[in-house]
Each structure stands twice: as structure tokens, then as C-alpha cells.
Amino acid sequence: MVNLQNMLAAVGGSLATVAPEGAVFSSHWPLTAIVLLPLLSFVLCALCAAFGVKSKLPAWITVASLAAAFVFTFLAFRSAGPILGGHGADHAAHAQVHVFDWMNFAWGDTQDSHGVFDADFGFYIDGLTLLWMLFVTGLATLIALYASEYMAHDVGLGYCRFFAAFSLFVLSMSCLVMANNLLLLFFGWEGVGLCSYLLIGYFYKKPAAVAAAKKAFIINRIGDLGLLMGILGVYASFGSVQYDKIFELISKGVDGAGNPLTTSNWVPVILPLLLTAGAFGKSAQLFFYVWLPDAMEGPTPVSALIHAATMVTAGVYLIARMMPLYTIDTAHTILNFVAWGGAITAFWAATIGMAHFDIKRVMGYSTASQLGYMFAGLGTLSSAGGAAHVFSHAFFKATLFLACGAVMHGFAGQLDLRKLSGVRKIKGWGIVAFAMFVGALNLAGFPGLAGFWSKDLILASAFEANPILGWLLLLTAGLTAYYTFRAYFRVFEGPISYEPGEDFHGDAHASHADHGHAEKAHGHDAKSHDAHSKGHDAHAGHAGEFHPHAPGWAINAVLLTLSVGCFAIIPLLALGEHGGWVGHMVGASSAALHGTGEGHGTFLGMDPHKVMYYVSAVVGGLGIIAAFVLHLLGRTTSAHAKADKLEPFLGPLVGWARHKWYVDEFYNMVIRVPLKFMAHVFHGIDQYLVDGLVNLTGFLPKGLGRLIRPTQSGELHGYALGMAGGVAIMILIVMMVAK
């Protein structure tokens, strides 16, 4: 028996003693509030739109609601986290919150478990759940505050629409993570997909944004089909979609009918493969990754929340949650596929990120690459490593995206690193530069920082599982350090030089009027703006009369908080063995913490867990030094750097990488064009053959009626003429027959 008494004492709830198979809260409202608060925010933002509110009220409603949800999550963690962590591997220490009966029905013989479907609306609370909900609600609150300023140019109906979709997304993500069954998880899964579509396509008058939204929606639906089939397969095999029942049967080694799982190829191989298809689609892995970089067409807060910290980690969460199902097969067939899929995606996306000039898209490819690391960690049974990297990545990648967004916001949409330089030296941009630098250090795996500790857990486990896999990920780590600091050195260091982006339509004041309802939308009054403009007269020649506007208090406060957070989480990852506090929360088993447990793989004959800290530090340092030499040392303009001279030696590789290795073109040629051709063929068949036969059937009686209509004119001489003609024809026929 695991005593979880007083788990919710801090939030007014009470608990009964929890048995290994789970428990039910005596009061579900404290944790239910975590879900209800984003729902309340969504409803209030919708009402703001209905009543034509033209202020920042929707933003403050959203920030307040999500902050309250974070407080409830944190208080629940304070009471339950230390107890639940460390026992999640056997799924013994968890608690269930039953909110209300949802999908409960039976058919046939109710004594047969396969004749009953039971999926309550309830929550499964353990260390993994609390870990995810902490950064989902915490980061959502900060990003909503950032968006209150960033989206200020659209105050009115668009502002309400943005924060309504934002709140709905957090609601869906909360249902996905806290669900106690696969059906509720799928409900949240589809909800975040819908909200992603709405938020990516927020600028619905921009064709590129609309195309990106449709691309994300369609590709995710392909993966979601695999997930849905997997859920149906789980029910067919275990007779339930409830986690506790599924995990209990797996621990006993039997399916719902009592048959040993080892005698089936369906359960240990096919079911995990179907779930992996859903996970790869949502988390942009292997064949599905192409939607994620295009999703950068959405507002930057969307990129930070959905495509860095929360939604794209849903696939990682799914596999981590269903890990008992993946480990039924002792050969780890599907986990090996997960590991290799993640490693290949990590390397592939890193090569593209090295060649692109749009700093926001570079971060997009970086996200796909880092997600590959997380899947590689799960595939090598380093649950702690995968979860630790999810946690650290959520902080530093949100920091990077929001820093890039601040640059885009202040430089009229400019994101081309060849047209920006020395931003750190411009007055008012110190916090943005600091945040970008902190995020870049973490992404590059600088020794001692959060990104360093979480990435090394995965690298060590990868070498232990398969040295080739480890070398591929280690090479990717070097490439990551290079392209990360390539972006930082080009944009924030070097000589001061800048050009406005495509959103600039005139002089400084006109630009502000077009994109932020003058100075008011950016948190400036006229006096401060004039002073700011005078401070940049020396640089006015770079772009006519354009003067960049520094971010206001909301953006700066969020960036500073996230930067400090990147340092604050270091002890949570570094103190203790194998993932520290995060490893304790995930509760991975000893074998999972040390890789596959087989111990065959080494790093040049040495224990990877003992030497990887030093190896990855050297590799990351080399990447940073290369970026410094090629993109900062001796650079006198924003447009050119020493790296440009190396391109002729690399032949067509650079061009291929900039064209994303022509994967989109390949998909267009192999999938889209044939499907479009077939659509036209079937359209022709439907229009001319199917519809033609239907139309012919209708035309025949109509034509026959038209043909005989003159015989029924009502004129006697016409009838007489007809009769005479008929008699003549009959006489002629008789004469011919008589001969």
C-alpha cells in the first residue's frame, strides 16, 4: 500500500489510501479546476468577441486563468510529486480522479469484457502527468503574457480569436496529458491538432499561412489515423482503454481474454507500431516532419507554445505513457525503430537548419531535430533522458522562439540573418540578446547548463544501445551547436546593420501606425518613441527612415523570466543520478535509466555514462568555435561572412540543404501529383460516365415525350392526317409481307 494521504491538502482536497492498482480522489474539484480554468478562459474570450471588446481584456483573462491553473498544478505537485516520482515504472503509485461518466455502454453478454466499453472522463495522476502539466501550464502563462504585447496590433476581434484558440489549446493539452484512458487522450490529441490549425493559419489572408495550416492539419491526420487504429487495437486486445486496466493486464503478461501476450504478434509489435505512427505525426518525425518548419508562418507565440514546448511533445508523452506496451517485446523491435527514426530525424533536420537564413525556421528545424533526440532517448529505454530533454527543451526553445519573435516584432518582420547584425548593441535590446544567448548555450549543450545534462543522458544511452546510433547523435550535437551560434553571431553580434522586413511601409512613424496602431500598440508613448528614434539616427541610413522599436515590458519580463528559468532548472537535472529530479518524477526503472541493460555498446571502449559529459562538451565547443570563426570573426557586414567562401567546396550540398533536400518536391511528385491526377480522372468518370448515365436515364423519357407531343395537339385534321398515314403504313407492310 502506498499512502498518498494529504496529497491535495494544499488545495483543499482529501485522499483515501491508494492501493497499487490505483485510487479515486474523494474530491476531484481541485484537479478538475486545472482543466476548467482554460475552458472558462475560452468562453470569456468568445464572449469578448461577441460583445466587440477592443481592449487587452482577453489577454488578461487568459493570463489570469492559466496562472491559476499553474498554481493548482504546482500545489498538487508539492503534495504528490515526491511520493509519485520513482514508482512510475511499475505504475503502482498513481491516483485516479473520476469526474463523471462519459462513454460507458454495453452490448451482448455483459459478462464478457469485450461487450463493455468504459471510458470515464477522469485523470491519471502520477509523476509523468505532473511533470508535463507543470511546464504546460507554466509556460502557457508566460507565453500568453508575451502575446498580450506581441499581438497588440490586432486588438479587437482578431485579438479575441487568438486568445480563445490559445485557451482552447491549453484545455486540449491538459485533457491529453491528464487523461486516464486512451479515448480522452485522443479527444485532447485531436483538440490540439484543431487549435494548431487555427493558430498557424491565424493570418488567414496570407496564402502562405493558410497553406501551412492545411499542411499541418492533413499530415497530422495521417498520423492520427494510426493512433486511432492503435487505440481500437488496444481495446480489441485488452477489452479496455483505461490505463490502469491495460497496465495491470500487461504486468500479468496476458490480454483481455487471459491469453499470454508472448504468443501474439499483434499486441507486442503491431499495436506499438500504430501508436508510433500517431506519435511521429504529432511530433514531426521521419516522414512527417515537413509540416513543422512551415508552421512558423503562425504568430511567434504560437511557435513558442505549440511547436516548441507542448503540442509537439505529445508524441513523446504518448510513448512514455504507453512504455509498458512497448516493452512486451523483449527484442524491442518497435523501440529500435523509434530510436533510429528519432536519430535520423535529428541529423536530417540539423543539416537543413545549418543552411537556412530565416532564424525562425532555423529554430523550427531545430525543434524537429531535438524531438528526434527525445525519441532516441525513449527508443534506447532512457525514459529519464527523454523526459529530461523534453523539460529542458521546453524552457530554452521557448526562450529562443520568443527572442526571435521580439526581433521580428521590432524590425518590421525581418528574420533574415543576412539583413540583421549587432542587435545586442542597439539600445533597448539587451534583454532580448541575453535571452537568445542563454537559449543558444542550452541548445548547443554548453557544459553545466540544463540542455547539457539532458542531452548527455540520451547520448550515453544511445552509445550503450548501439554505437552507430550514438555517433550519429553526437555528430548532430556538433551541428546543432554550430547552426545555433551561427544564428546568434550573425544577428546579435558584429557591426550594427539592419534592414526592415516586409511589414515596413514607410517611415518610422508610418510603420508603427501600420503595425501597431502607432506607438500605443508597442508600449511606447510619442515622447519615448521620438527619443528612441533620435538614438538611432546614426543607423537610419541602413534602411531609409526605419528605426527598430525595442520590446515593451511584457516581452522583456517574459524573456527575462525564461532566461532565469533556464538556469533555475539546472539543479533539477544535474543533482542526483540519471536525470535528477526529472528522472525521479518519471520513475524509470534501473534498466531504463542505463539504456537497454545489455551493456554491449561503449564509447571507444569506455563507459558512455562516465565519459559522455566530456565528449559532448568538446563536440559542442567545436561547433561554437566553428560558428565564431566562420560567422563573426572579421565580419564587417551583415550579408557576408567567411562561411560564404566554403560553399564552392561543398558543391551542390548547400543548395540541396537550402531546398530542404527536396523532400517537399519529392512528396509533391510521388504523392500529391498522382493523387491530383487520379482525382481528375475520377472526377471525369463521375461527371461523364456516372452522371452521364443518370442524365441519360432522365433524358430518354423526356426526349420521347417531346417526340410524341405533336401528335396530341388537339386539332382534328392533325389526328385525321395521322390516322391516314398509319393506315397507309399498315397497307404497305401487308403488301410487302404478302409478296
- Chain segment 411-446, per-residue pLDDT in tens: 988 999 999 999 999 999 999 999 999 999 999 999
Q: How far apart are CA 314 and CA 189, in angstroms?
A: 8
- pLDDT over 80 at 399, yes or no: yes
Nearest to 272 by CA among 306, 226, 314, 310: 226
* Amino acid identity for residue 193 in this structure: G
Q: What SS3 state is found at 206?
A: coil
pLDDT of 123: 92
The per-residue pLDDT for range 126-158, each reduced to its tens digit, is 889 999 999 999 999 999 999 999 999 889 999
**Which of 80-84, 478-482, 505-509 holds the top average pLDDT?**
478-482
pLDDT grade, residue 7 (50/70/90)? very low
pLDDT of 4: 38
Cell of 393: 527543451
Q: How far apart are CA 163 and CA 198, in angstroms?
A: 11
Per the listing, cell 500545489 goes with 75
Residues 690 and 613 in one domain: no
613 assigned to some structural domain: yes
Residue 700 dihedral angles phi and psi, to the nearest 5°: -60, -55
Average pLDDT over residues 622-639: 93
- pLDDT over 50 at 88, yes or no: no
pLDDT of 523: 38
Is the overall model pTM greater than 0.75, yes or no? yes
Q: Considering just the CA atoms, what is the radius of gyration of the chain in Å?
A: 31
Residues 478 and 604 in one domain: yes
Q: How far apart are CA 217 and CA 200, in angstroms?
A: 10
The per-residue pLDDT for range 187-212, each reduced to its tens digit, is 999 999 999 999 999 999 999 999 99
521 assigned to some structural domain: yes
- pLDDT over 90 at 368, yes or no: yes
Average pLDDT over residues 88-108: 73
pLDDT grade, residue 323 (50/70/90)? very high
The per-residue pLDDT for range 689-718, each reduced to its tens digit, is 888 888 888 888 888 888 887 777 777 777
CA 227 to chain centre: 16
Q: How far apart are CA 133 and CA 125, in angstroms?
A: 10
**126-140, 156-170, 257-271, 556-570: the lowest-pLDDT one:** 257-271
Q: What is the DSSP string of 249-298?
A: HHHHTB-TTS-BGGG-SIIIIIHHHHHHHHHHHHTT-GGGTTHHHHGGGS
Per the listing, cell 533597448 goes with 428
pLDDT of 105: 82
Average pLDDT over residues 74-89: 60
Residues 569 and 713 in one domain: no
* Amino acid identity for residue 209 in this structure: A
Residues 722 and 639 in one domain: no
Inter-helix orientation angle 127-150/383-410, to 10°: 0
Average pLDDT over residues 459-480: 94
Residues 685 and 609 in one domain: no
pLDDT of 354: 93
Average pLDDT over residues 631-636: 92
Average pLDDT over residues 592-620: 76
Residues 635 and 672 in one domain: no
Nearest to 386 by CA among 395, 378, 396: 378
**Mean pLDDT for the chain?**
84
pLDDT of 375: 95
pLDDT grade, residue 587 (50/70/90)? low
543 assigned to some structural domain: yes
Residues 427 and 520 in one domain: yes
Residues 427 and 570 in one domain: yes
How far is CA 259 from each of CA 60, 115, 116, 117, 291, rounded to the nearest angstrom? 55, 18, 19, 20, 41
User: What percent of the chain has pLDDT above 70?
Assistant: 86
Q: How far apart are CA 382 and CA 277, in angstroms?
A: 20
Sign of CA dihedral 370, 371, 374, 376: negative
The per-residue pLDDT for range 43-55, each reduced to its tens digit, is 999 999 999 999 9
Q: What is the count of structural domains for the chain?
A: 2
341 assigned to some structural domain: no
pLDDT of 225: 95
pLDDT of 84: 52
- Domain of 616 in residue numbering reads as 402-526+537-577+588-643
From the number of C-beta atoms within 10 Å of its C-beta (0-12, 13-18, 19+), residue 739 rates as exposed
The residues near 646 (Cβ < 8 Å, ≥ 6 apart) are 630
CA 320 to chain centre: 16
459 assigned to some structural domain: yes
Residues 672 and 618 in one domain: no
466 assigned to some structural domain: yes
- pLDDT over 70 at 6, yes or no: no
Q: What SS3 state is found at 603?
A: strand
pLDDT of 503: 76
Residues 605 and 689 in one domain: no
Cell of 126: 502520477
Nearest to 89 by CA among 569, 579, 575: 579
- pLDDT over 80 at 25, yes or no: no
482 assigned to some structural domain: yes
Residues 436 and 507 in one domain: yes
Average pLDDT over residues 606-621: 91
pLDDT of 739: 63
Q: How far apart are CA 397 and CA 135, in angstroms?
A: 13
Residues 465 and 601 in one domain: yes
Higher per-residue pLDDT: 165 or 15: 165
From the number of C-beta atoms within 10 Å of its C-beta (0-12, 13-18, 19+), residue 555 rates as buried
pLDDT of 706: 83
- pLDDT over 60 at 513, yes or no: no
Average pLDDT over residues 502-522: 46
614 assigned to some structural domain: yes
